[in-house]
Structure 1
Amino acid sequence: MMHPTDRASAPQAPGERRNLTVLFADLSESTRLADAMQAEHYALMLRDLRALYQSVVPRHGGTVVRIQGDGMLAIFGHPQMREDDGRRATEAALELHQLVRLMRPPGSSGQWPHGQELSLHSGIHAGIVLVEEGDAVRGRFDLLGNTPNFAARLSDQAGADEILVSEETLGLHCHYFQTSERRLVLLKGRSSALAVYAIKGRAAIGRRFEASQQRGLAPFVGRKFELLQLKLALAEAQQGRPAWINIRASAGVGKTRLTEEFLARTATQNCQVQRGYCESYLSAEPLQPYLQMLRALASQGLGIAAALLTAEAAARPAGLLQLLQALARQRPQVIFIDDLQWADDASLLLLHRVYALAREQQLPLLLLTASRPQETELQADGARVLELAPFDASDAEQAIVQLLPDTDPFVALDIQRHAGGNPLFIEELCHAIKHEHAGRRALIRPRADSAGQAWLAALTLSRVARLAPEQAALLRAAAVIGNVIPTWLLQRLTGCTEQDPAVLALAERDFVFPDRRAGFFRFKHGLTRDVVYESIGWHERQAMHRHIAAELRSQVHDTPRQATDELLGYHAAAAEQWAEAALHAERAGDQALAASALDRAKKQYRAALTALEHLPSSGVIDMRWVAIAQRFGIACVFDASRADLRVLQHAVQLAQGSGDADLIARADYWLGYASYALGEVREGLLHCERGLLAAQVKQPPNGALLAQLLGAQGQLLAAAADYPAALGLLDQAIAFLRPLNQATVPPARPAVSLAYSLACRAYVLGDQGQFGEAHACFDEALAIIQGSNHAVEASVQGWRAAVFLWQGRWPEARQAAAEAQRIGGLVRSLFTYSMGHAVCAFADWETERSAASALGLQVAANWLASRGGGLFSSLIHGWRAELLAEQGDAAGARLQVAQALRRARQRDWIGVAMAYRAAARLAADAGQAARASHYLAAAQRVAALRGSAHEAAVNQLCAAELALALGEPAQHQLSEAAASFEALNMAWHLQKTRRLMACV
């Protein structure tokens, strides 16, 4: 058995960093076989086996690196990288396995020992490999990194005559083969399981589009202009004015999908379609696309096509020309050739001859070809190039929603930014997220490797390999700078201005493009930038990052502070200058927090904390870590995740080690607040109580810190529906904070703690039916915060919208919720964005009863569900339970009721009365009067627990409606409900009640 040396660290002497596909193959049960054979016979068998290795691998475009004993290590992608290296390696393994099975033993026995068949077991994996020159011991090359190790371990796990290939290697190309079910394997040295396929054989497909069909095509999106152009060209061709349209775009932009959609629509146009494609694989034959057309025609019984197939190659072009001419005279023809960039010269020459003949004789013929830019120049008089652009933002969003219908809008935006409108990149990112993060997709953000596909990296790097050397060097420099490239920095690094031919060539080839801001370029696809960056050697990257950091420091007074700090923090970290990285990332986090850019603040604070962890441990570093973590906590409370809790829990541990009472109190405060944001009220109360105990140790206590802790505890108690205690604590906090806000007019910054405490007091009063006082509190809160676009403003508007809902003031509720959603989008707070969306949808449902509003509520629920819900998520469950019950979806409504009750166990009672009313309606619909009464009584108990006057009034109306449905008298209940609504100024509910009273 042969294994690579397990080396994952960077070598002393830098090698070349390559994206390679690695194939390991070993003879199965070789020890047992050698023991049972004569040494001379075993040596002959090894000679034949090694000869197979040496002949088969190069035939598929690979390189044999080392043969040791009966094992072989081969690579694909060096010296020439191809986008289908994974497929080539798999084809090579299949051929090797087949030929080894056919090997016959030397000597006269006629069979191998023990009656076994000779077989290999192989593993294939792709990724970044550091390639160094080898020697007689190490083989032709020395390969360093985990990729060859994982390929070897896959080979070890493979059974006799089995080929295991990682999903990362094949990606969409797996559909060229018959495979086992996708399965996960654990490999030594890898933290997560690796998805693999066992290769059974070849599949009967030849194009990547057919592979996409095997997986399932997403609905067709956009391309209205291009379809119209093709339709007009076909109409002209049918009138005897032949046309040649070449659809040109980079790989993955959707050339083939567009043409297939168009050809499907020609079925009703009385046209005959001839199809062919070109491929780069070594087995491609001359005149390949035309021979494919001939085979299709011969299978339909056309004798002349069968005759041409058997003719000499030299005679075929003339015969093909005559055949296409004859077909066009019978019926309009569409000739489609895909991937024209790989066509042989004879195919291109024949294509020109067909077009010239069609124009000369005015044949009803449309030539339709698809090619990539800069690879095939079509010099044909009258041929028109239709450039296919990547998706715009609207089409990209539509494509993502179709592939990931439950993903939240912020993840969708990240996918758009990373994919740059490339449909293939969008599809692969979505499929990777669906596979790897099912049930928690909203918690992730696309990373450089989040597509999980080395084949996509090969697709990108094969394009890079075709660049001129100066262009490739420029692209690498741009990738190190980042996704957005200041032109002055690129010039300092490379000497190239924005008008340099090499820079313009990169833009023409769809790598970079001018940003909307003058003086900047941007990568067209974030995924491309990441792949190029990862392909750069570590030493080269380090040197470039140090150079960039030095240039940025020299320009610190000429660029915006925040942009400089973000860039310096990033490049200093990449250069392992950890002290500087921590300093600038912390500053960038502070600037983002001040601008309410919460996601950027969290990202920068995390970077600062990571940098600090690389510095020697000390009390000073620990205290700085805690201080940054507390500001991180401010950003977390509006968009918290479970991962955030781990940071804040570590901050509590460090603070406790310091012995500083105030530090301990603040650390517990932020951990409690993050727990509150996640809807974990019990844990939040525990941490706030611990924080209060710590804060009271210091004498005299810090009044501002005590006010914050009291306010947080009051907010948690309000969330737990302990309203009397909550109001007492909120009033104490407000009494302390209000004078501070009034001390400076205008205040230096919005008093967010005061505004949110007032909003919490307002919704408590609103729930108790004191709507006038509630709106007065909201007005005061908004006077402090309105117009700031701060995350707290979104929270205030969100609660105001909820109180409007309780009153039945649907238009006002929608207006406030829309504002909450708008600000939530600006600050990237998924909770406030989703809750705003949900309130809008529920308000629309109450006024319109439309399917769109019901779907809108479901979408908002899905966004939050993917994160495990959150604060007050029982509201959404209550709304959905009522809606689904009314729609007659009993099973769906019961599920929402159950989820609302589950939230009640976390003391989240705000939507539970609604859920019980929905359960009562379901029971009444089923004729179960006793159960309906039981659920109504439960709804009333929840209303009493909260002291909720509006819930009690709605319960009375619900009781009357159910009595009427069951044929029972309801006049008394309606009268009581009307009196309650009138007293509470709930005009919409009062009108509804009076309409019912008029019908009784």
Structure 2
Amino acid sequence: MTESSAPAPSNGQRRLLTLLFVDLSGSTAMAEWMEAEHYSAMLGSLRELYERIVPHHGGQIARIQGDGMLAVFGHPEVREDDGRRATEAALELHAAVRGIQPPGPRPADFKGLTLHSGIHAGIVLVNDGDQMRGRFELLGNAPNIAARLSEAARADEIIASEESLGLQSQFFETGPRFSLQLRGRATPLAAYRVFGRAPVGRRFEASMRRGLAPFVGRESEQVMLEAALARTLTGQTLWVGLRAGAGVGKTRLTEEFLRHAEDQADRPCRIHRGYCESYLSAEPLQPFLQMLRAMDGMADPPFELTAAQQSTPAGRADALLALLLALALRTPQLVFIDDLQWADDASLSLLHRLRAASAREGLPLLLLTASRPQPAAVLPSEHDDGAEIIELPPLTEDESARAVQQLAPQVDPFIAAEVLRHAGGNPLFIEELCHAAADAGEHLVEGQSSSAWLAALVESRVGRLPAEQARLVRLAAVIGNVIPVWLLEALSGCGEQHPAVRALAAQDFIFPDQRPGHLRFKHGITRDVVYEATGLHERQALHRRISIELAARGGADGQGQLHEQLAYHAAAANDWPAAGLHAEAAGDQALAASALDRAKKQFRAALAALEFLPDEAGRRRRWIAVAQRLGMACVFDASQDDLRVLKHAATLAQAEGEPGLIARTEYWLAYVGYALGETRDSLRHARAAVETAQACGDHALLAQLPGTVGQLQAAAANYAEALPMLDLAIARQRARASKSAVNRIGLSFSLCCRAYVLGDQGRFDHAHEVFAEALEPFNGSGHAVEASMQGWRAAVFLWQGRWAEARAAAAVAHRVGAQVRSMFTCAMGQAAGAYGAWMQTHDPGALQLILDATAWLAPRGGGLYNSFNHGWLADILSTQGHVTAARHHIALALRRGRQHDWIGGAMAYRAAARLATGTGDVPLARRYLALARGAGEQRNSDHEAAVTALLEAELKLDGSWTDALDFARAEFTRMGMTGFLERAQAL
């Protein structure tokens, strides 16, 4: 065991730590051939290395056991480069151990001593240790993962998890990123093998190695910097300081500016670069010495530092000052120093002396520095005192959106919105969250949206706050991302104008929200990190206090609108009965407001809370009831997860044995399966619902089922069966439409399905009349059903060749779908609008928009009429001659037929015929045209028959193409298919 002189933590501290676990390779075998005294001496040498090297890199030894060691980085203070420090320590330890010669005789095949190490970071509960447990007792999963990584490492190998290093991995030479399945961990862990140090000194160089994110915005700041350079070239001395928090983009802006300045041949200006750092390699006068070393290649240096000048810091400073002034006498000079907040006193003194001396002599010198603001109570911002400060703000919402689009072009708009909310305009956060979103797939998980290395950056900022401000920011994090001022004041006694609150706003932690009386975190990621680092007992106590205050406020105001907040805080305080009740109420409120994503979230929270209640019949029945309301919330935006919940509800209902419950769970399985495009399975559930409802006499459900069955039959293209069921449903729903909003929605949706079927049959005039009736109660309302109906209407306009009207309807579907967070209608609206743009103007961006929309739906398991997307893609790609990609989407469109989704089938076959003609395979092209005709006839679709005839005429496979053209023209005229008629006339 070992002791450390560092202060021991108080029991139960929750800390973000980076952990280094090292072990001696092959130690068991060595113990067999080494004498015990020799083995003991070797262990003593190992321990001496551990105790010397780990503290040198800012770590502490938690325990030494045998030849292994566990070290922690981030105690007592989290540093943003703890992952880098741990890796540097591991590399030095490995090199030092290789140099140890164990005493005594050694076998002939002995190749020397080596370590194998693992590095991981995460939240750890730190308790005082003892002789048995080591200096600290570390509780949590992170130490176990570090040990597992060490186990996985081979001899002389270091494995570091990606989340412990992140961008800092670029400071090292590593192997490719790989996934490791560790014992005791459910999901694979991304990691790197670390081989050595990379020739990288600055964080900007590390970013360049990984690949720079897109540079967006900063136009006004670039203009100010250009103006400062122009003034310098006229003979002035200027000092311009860029100031902003970590990750906001100071260095990137300056590098873009310096690159542009270097490219201006008509404006001669010599540029010098230097940077400061807080790490071990920092030295007095570091940025200026870096500049001096870069001058080694100068053909005609003014002079060189003598040995006497180099022997003392003061002598070096005097000589560097003289050198830079001499250079400025020859030509204008631009001196850039990055990360000035870490500058040593000698560098700061030289900077001020340089500015004063240059100004006195009237020399053309631009001093450009970049620094972070420091909490005034901790370190006054005197490092750039006297500079003309440019405060660099976060990116605007538009600029942030452009960055997200360039970093993650296919991410769906809802995930993009989450990235923007969490990042708060910080370019570094945007970049990392885009990477996290790409890895997460469907969504960002609140509270887990950042890697450990990025969390360390946030925690290191919090750790430098004065005690009162740190207490306030942790309290605010428990309240939530948005903080009602009255609640903060009730809990802390600090209102919006309190000095501590205003100081947090000045430092970009929390700031006034758009809504009066509210504050919010500048970066959602900051809130998540601070919350996770707050101790469990402290959090739960605060959640209970917040629940009491919210309940009292709700009762006093009589609003009853606090259920969502109460549900969250009750669950966090483990008050599951209250959490379930409030989540149900919040879900009902959100559903009534057509806020589908919030409704789904709250109903899922209610189901989770119910899992903690005693397993009894009442709880199971309540679980089923909540699951059915979840079904109502997800019909416009279903996912496979939603379907799994309803399948579990059906299992519970079967166990209860009550026919009414069984019938309704089967109904919702049918409806959600329909929304996912699983028509075949949904028809089976619908039939089961009808049979059970008839058996138990559930007349209310029987009244709803004709509409559902009609919609399913329409989706399966069984129009002969669909229309009578839809007509029956419409007749019943008309009679009840005035009684409730639900009935009005049901009537409109049934009318919409009927209009869609009429359109597919080529009865377009009748279809548009029915669409008008369906939309009348909801047109312009922003309701989810409006988005769905406009999407269907867009499809019918596309069939008719009315491209502009199709694009307008699709735009409404996309916009309203985004507002109510219905991914299906949002994505289908974008895809339909893009296809309309392709058909109208051959818009070159249409293909990518449809590909994006299709990718958005993929994690949710697709959706209703998914063959549309693949048919549209096949049509565009085959027209453009992209054979392989077109064949891929043809296959996907036809595969949808397994779920009776044939809506894109004829389009896919036509694309295949076009491809076959391109290869000269006329018989195959004729076969595909026949299949396209068959796919249209299966739906009794006159418009499909006419478009297939038009393609037959365009391909001119034989002399009968003119007959096909005449047929197509006549049908287009009869059905008012204007866009297709223009194409036929041009042919």
TM-score normalised by L of structure 2 = 0.96
Distance in structure 2 (CA, Å) of the matches to 1:186 and 1:662 = 46
Per-residue deviation, 1:348: 0.6
Distance in structure 2 (CA, Å) of the matches to 1:992 and 1:668 = 47
| 1:348-427 to 2 correspondences below 5 Å | 348-374=348-374, 377-378=381-382, 383-427=387-431
Q: Cα–Cα, structure 1 residues 475 and 801, in superposed 2: closer, same or farther, change >3 Å?
A: same
Q: Secondary structure at the match of 2:194?
A: strand
Counterpart check, 1:532 vs 2:530: yes
Distance in structure 1 (CA, Å) of the matches to 2:38 and 2:112 = 16
Aligned length: 971
Partner of 1:99: 96
Counterpart check, 1:754 vs 2:747: yes
| 1:124-139 to 2 correspondences below 5 Å | 124-139=119-134
Partner of 2:758: 765
Partner of 2:59: 62
Conserved? CA contact 2:100–2:113, under 8 Å: yes
Of the three residues 78, 82, 85, the one matched with 2:82 is 85
How high is the sequence identity, in percent, across the aligned residues?
57
Of the three residues 205, 223, 232, the one matched with 2:227 is 232
Per-residue deviation, 1:919: 1.8
Q: Can you list the C-alpha shifts for 1:392-448, whole angstroms capped at 9, x where unaligned?
A: 1111111111111111111100111111111111111111233x34xxx2x223432
Of the three residues 976, 980, 986, the one matched with 1:989 is 980
Per-residue deviation, 1:559: 5.2
| 1:255-274 to 2 correspondences below 5 Å | 255-269=250-264, 270-274=268-272
Partner of 2:168: 173
Q: Secondary structure at the match of 2:138?
A: strand
Counterpart check, 1:140 vs 2:135: yes
Q: Secondary structure at the match of 1:116?
A: coil
Q: Can you list the C-alpha shifts for 1:221-271, whole angstroms capped at 9, x where unaligned?
A: 111111111111111111112221111111111111111111111122232
Partner of 2:663: 665
Q: Cα–Cα, structure 1 residues 762 and 946, in superposed 2: closer, same or farther, change >3 Å?
A: same
Q: Secondary structure at the match of 1:784?
A: coil
CA RMSD of aligned residues (A): 2.0
Distance in structure 2 (CA, Å) of the matches to 1:865 and 1:500 = 49
Q: Secondary structure at the match of 1:669?
A: helix
| 1:688-837 to 2 correspondences below 5 Å | 688-698=686-696, 701-742=697-738, 744=739, 751-837=744-830
Tell me which moved more, 642-651 or 40-49. 40-49
Partner of 1:448: 447
Partner of 2:19: 22
Conserved? CA contact 1:298–1:306, under 8 Å: no
Distance in structure 2 (CA, Å) of the matches to 1:826 and 1:562 = 24
Per-residue deviation, 1:749: 5.7
| 1:105-120 to 2 correspondences below 5 Å | 105-106=102-103, 115-120=110-115
Distance in structure 2 (CA, Å) of the matches to 1:308 and 1:878 = 77
Per-residue deviation, 1:577: 0.3
Partner of 2:5: none
Conserved? CA contact 2:340–2:383, under 8 Å: no
Partner of 1:47: 44
Partner of 2:953: 960
| 1:606-625 to 2 correspondences below 5 Å | 606-625=604-623
Q: Secondary structure at the match of 2:360?
A: helix
Distance in structure 2 (CA, Å) of the matches to 1:22 and 1:527 = 23
Distance in structure 2 (CA, Å) of the matches to 1:517 and 1:759 = 38
Q: Secondary structure at the match of 1:106?
A: coil
| 1:156-171 to 2 correspondences below 5 Å | 156-171=151-166
Conserved? CA contact 1:308–1:320, under 8 Å: no
Of the three residues 179, 186, 199, the one matched with 2:181 is 186
Partner of 2:961: 970
Unaligned runs of 5+ in 1: 3-12
Q: Secondary structure at the match of 2:124?
A: strand
Q: Can you list the C-alpha shifts for 1:86-143, whole angstroms capped at 9, x where unaligned?
A: 1111111111111111112336x5x678533112222211111111112222222211
Letter in 1 for 2:792: W
| 1:407-486 to 2 correspondences below 5 Å | 407-434=411-438, 436-437=439-440, 441=441, 443-451=442-450, 453-486=451-484
Conserved? CA contact 1:244–1:355, under 8 Å: yes
Of the three residues 870, 874, 885, the one matched with 1:892 is 885
Q: Secondary structure at the match of 1:599?
A: helix
Conserved? CA contact 1:719–1:908, under 8 Å: yes
Partner of 2:543: 545
Q: Cα–Cα, structure 1 residues 85 and 995, in superposed 2: closer, same or farther, change >3 Å?
A: closer
Partner of 1:339: 339
Tell me which moved more, 126-135 or 977-986. 977-986
Per-residue deviation, 1:993: 2.6
Q: Cα–Cα, structure 1 residues 378 and 560, in superposed 2: closer, same or farther, change >3 Å?
A: farther
Distance in structure 2 (CA, Å) of the matches to 1:562 and 1:232 = 56
Unaligned runs of 5+ in 2: 3-9
Q: Cα–Cα, structure 1 residues 170 and 988, in superposed 2: closer, same or farther, change >3 Å?
A: closer
Per-residue deviation, 1:869: 2.7
Partner of 1:250: 245
Q: Cα–Cα, structure 1 residues 840 and 104, in superposed 2: closer, same or farther, change >3 Å?
A: same
Tell me which moved more, 581-590 or 64-73. 64-73
Q: Can you list the C-alpha shifts for 1:614-635, whole angstroms capped at 9, x where unaligned?
A: 0111100001111110010111
Q: Cα–Cα, structure 1 residues 303 and 334, in superposed 2: closer, same or farther, change >3 Å?
A: closer
Distance in structure 1 (CA, Å) of the matches to 2:356 and 2:496 = 42
Per-residue deviation, 1:770: 1.2
Tell me which moved more, 34-43 or 258-267. 34-43
Q: Secondary structure at the match of 1:217?
A: coil
Letter in 2 for 1:412: A
Distance in structure 2 (CA, Å) of the matches to 1:171 and 1:876 = 37
Conserved? CA contact 1:337–1:370, under 8 Å: yes
Distance in structure 2 (CA, Å) of the matches to 1:264 and 1:714 = 65
Per-residue deviation, 1:382: 5.4
Conserved? CA contact 1:333–1:366, under 8 Å: yes
Distance in structure 1 (CA, Å) of the matches to 2:459 and 2:582 = 33
Conserved? CA contact 1:841–1:853, under 8 Å: yes
Partner of 1:73: 70
Q: Cα–Cα, structure 1 residues 748 and 897, in superposed 2: closer, same or farther, change >3 Å?
A: closer
Q: Secondary structure at the match of 2:305?
A: helix
Per-residue deviation, 1:669: 1.1
TM-score normalised by L of structure 1 = 0.94
Per-residue deviation, 1:974: 2.2
Distance in structure 2 (CA, Å) of the matches to 1:299 and 1:662 = 87
Partner of 1:327: 327
Q: Cα–Cα, structure 1 residues 302 and 691, in superposed 2: closer, same or farther, change >3 Å?
A: farther
Distance in structure 2 (CA, Å) of the matches to 1:627 and 1:784 = 29
Per-residue deviation, 1:969: 5.5
Q: Cα–Cα, structure 1 residues 991 and 136, in superposed 2: closer, same or farther, change >3 Å?
A: closer
Per-residue deviation, 1:948: 0.3
| 1:644-683 to 2 correspondences below 5 Å | 644-683=642-681
Of the three residues 481, 485, 488, the one matched with 1:487 is 485
Q: Secondary structure at the match of 1:123?
A: strand
Distance in structure 1 (CA, Å) of the matches to 2:968 and 2:466 = 80
Per-residue deviation, 1:898: 1.7
Per-residue deviation, 1:516: 0.3
Partner of 2:6: none
Distance in structure 2 (CA, Å) of the matches to 1:951 and 1:532 = 58
